[in-house]
Amino acid sequence: MTIETTYHSDTRPDFTPFEESCGTIAGFTYAGDVATEMAAGTTSAAEALDLLDGMLAIRELEEMIVRLRSGGYDPLPGYDYRGPTHVSIGQEGTGIGACSVLRADDNVTSSHRGHGDAIAKGFSAIRAMTDEQLLARVPALDGASHAELLEAALEEHVFRVIAELFGKEEGYSRGRGGGMHIGDFSTGNLGANAIVGGSVPIATGAAMAIRYERADRVVCCFAGDGAYANGVVLESLNWAAQDQWKNHLAGPYAHGLPIIFFIQNNHYGMTHRTDEEVMGVRHLARRAAGFAENNMHAEVVNGMDVLAVRDAVRRAASLCRAGEGPVLIEASTYRYYGHSLSDPRNEYRTREEEASWRAVDPIERLKAQLLTAGAADAEAIAAIQTRARERNARAAIRASLATDPDPADLLRFLYTETTADQVPEAAATVTTYADAPVAKRDAAGAISYKDALREALVEEMARDARVIHYGEDVADYGGAFKLTKGLLETFGRERVFNTPISEACICGTAVGAAIVGLRPVVELMYMDFALMASDQIANQAGKWHYMSGAQVEVPLVIRASVGAGKGYGGQHSQSLESMFTHIPGTWVVYPSNAADAKGLLKSAIRTNNPVVFVESQGLYPAKGVVPDGEYLVEIGKARVARAGTDATIVAWGPAVPDALSAAEVLATEHGLAAEVIDLRSLVPLDMETVLASVRKTGRCVVASQAVLVGSYVNEIVARVQLEAFDYLDGPVGRIGAAAGISPQAEGLEKAFLPNAGDIVRAVLASR
């Protein structure tokens, strides 16, 4: 058998107009140029020159990266650039064309190849600024003219982009994010994303929040062709196109999500070919036909023509502002270099193919049109080129001399200390449509764990209109466990709504909504399903505060319930909280009783950190005294659930009732007074309360329902042994589920899960 190693047929530029048979998906219909745009009044000569300046700014910056890697960038001889090198040279027309018709307060998201989009959104927003706004960016130029302020602000923008690429404190993300995560949130750039397709649900969530706020803004989501084979991207297309945004369920505000899905189709993933290899359609715009009856107004444009892109995005933005979104645009473009500069390209494409695309270069096309239209002469164009080159050189030299982050600040920005203690006036007015559900307390004031959680949700939603709640079946049905029953009737479908079975998109949209100002609480029906959403929880929710250099906070709560002990088997029973403790940037909370369920959930909703809030289905019916009205429990402060002097039992979640039962057995049958510490939260961890108890008792057992191998139990054990070794009178005991898969059979499941007897035996073994 012979394996074919020859090239596929070349991907050559082909901008022949077409119309797909699947409906109204047209391609390459734009036939204008600078002259026709000027005649129509849609693009002035000055605007066309600004487009050229923007594209040249991107190319100068990215060619600087290329030359730095080879040691050939004259302004910085010998500079050691060690960051990513995913350049977008050749694609300049896409970002500049799109951003040129977006408003300053519109948002964009981008990809790992996002330097160009960062420059583009910044230039567009800065050009729209008043003198006062410009002066805020370059305060040293007080008294300067508008033209001087503008040019200085543009150079400052280039400087801060380069400083971020160089890992400097003066970079937009203070060197924490780097080029693949760059974003200037002050100009509407919600960040680039190193996870292919990772920003698409974030952009969708931002658009959802804009719709909820009834703001006149649009999100333009830049992503490459490779992303459109990614599951969460397809989930996002479906999410954005849901009927409920525009049909009778939308009530008085039938308004589609204001999002433009902009595919920067450069025809390659890393090295794989989108055309003829890993996709089954010729034009990716056909993806839209699978999710919306109107095909999301999809069209294909010539991405090598900045004016064609500008025309398409102008029309798309108008549709979105009119409530007719989402819109999908595919721009056929090309990256002249490989996936990164370590990719020589010669193994999967030809020089002839590259030459054919360089022959339709977007910058050269625009320059020729400017000359033909009389919008500029050769001297003026040369001056713009010189200005872009010198601007970049000055910015690069300054960035090279900027401040390196202090290693002592390594963990700065990992979490935020801020909370929503005060609700902004605009969010303090809450509309309700029916009386809120009220839990019936018994004579002692006790309610169930489940009702305590609902009470927390009701109180926080009544307090702050920014709090919304969504997930699978949480609206009319009230959730799989009826925990949210009544919320829809009280707060309406704008704030309580059902979602597709799309766990990754549930969490990803929550990230986007949180970044732009809402405080979403989302439900994952079973914690097992968090594995499907793990990228959006771990790489997005948990990282954006840090990667943005604290430009943004991500105040969201992911409610996830654990179904252990119900005979639901290996895919609906896992206690996975330990996995999320291994992801710096997220808080992990697991209440053990009704009062803490309420108090901790209210605190989780108010913190500006993302929280994985774990609930035990086994504890849902358990009753306890819960304060009525305002009641908060501090996250990161453990509780001494039972005092003792002979042994310390540390536990969380459903292991706490087991620990209390074990303590009672130890007291009545063995004469031992065990102290039970309920951690309440694993991140942040109150280790001081644990250590204080161990120093008193001299013995310790740590218990949870998670599988013991790899469990957070082991982290607690290690720290007790490290930090309280001299106080220990015996080995530290470890309790957890068996190192296996949760079985359905009742007898096997009882053997799989730990119980109070296991804890008793562990305490006795430590003596």
| CA separation for the pair 513, 466 (Å, rounded) | 10
Please confirm, yes or no, whether 572 is among the known catalytic residues. Answer: yes
- CA–CA dist 459, 196 (Å, integer): 38
Dihedral sign for Cα 249, 252, 256, 259, please.
negative
Give 146: exposed, middle or buried? Use CB within 10 Å, 0-12, 13-18, 19+: exposed
- Could you tell me the two tokens for 418? 């801020």
Please give the Cα distance from 137 to 206 (Å, whole number).
25
Type of residue found at 655: A
Coil, strand or helix at 708: coil
**Cβ–Cβ under 8 Å, residues 81 and 115:** no
Q: Are strands 611-616 and 623-625 parallel, antiparallel or unpaired?
A: unpaired
Asked about 503 being catalytic, the answer comes back as: yes
Which among 301, 302, 307, 388 has a CA at the least distance from the CA of 58? Answer: 388
From its phi and psi, is residue 102 left (phi > 0), alpha (psi between -120 and 50) or beta? beta
Burial zone of 247 (CB within 10 Å; 0-12 exposed, 13-18 middle, 19+ buried): exposed
| Secondary structure element (H or E) that encloses residue 36, with its range | helix 34-40
Pick from 195, 222, 254: nearest CA to 107: 222
User: 134: burial class by Cβ within 10 Å (0-12, 13-18, 19+)?
Assistant: buried
| Distance from C-alpha of 112 to C-alpha of 195, rounded to nearest angstrom | 7
The tokens of 484 are what?
A: 């949210």
The secondary structure of 521-555 as a DSSP string is EEEESSGGGGGTTHHIIIIIITTHHHHTTTS----
> From the centroid of its chain, how far is CA 546?
12
Q: What share of the chain is helix, strand, coil (3-state, %, to 5)?
A: 45, 15, 45
Query: Residues in the chain, how many?
Result: 767
- Element holding 108 (H helix, E strand): strand 107-109
Give me the long-range contacts of 289-293 (CB less than 8 A, separation at least 24).
Answer: 289/20, 289/22, 289/23, 289/25, 290/237, 291/234, 291/237, 291/238, 291/240, 291/241, 292/241, 292/326
Residue with tokens 């697991």: 590
Catalytic position from the list 255, 267, 339, 572: 572
DSSP letter at 121 equals H
CB 522 within 8 A of CB 471: yes
Q: Calculate the alpha carbon distances from 333 to 32, 337, 650, 758 in Å.
A: 18, 13, 58, 63
Catalytic residue among 20, 92, 354, 503: 503
DSSP 3-state assignment of 193?
A: coil
Give the span between the Cα atoms of 615 and 670, in whole angstroms.
Answer: 33
Phi and psi at residue 350, in whole multiples of 5°? -100, 160
Hey, which residues are catalytic here?
503, 572
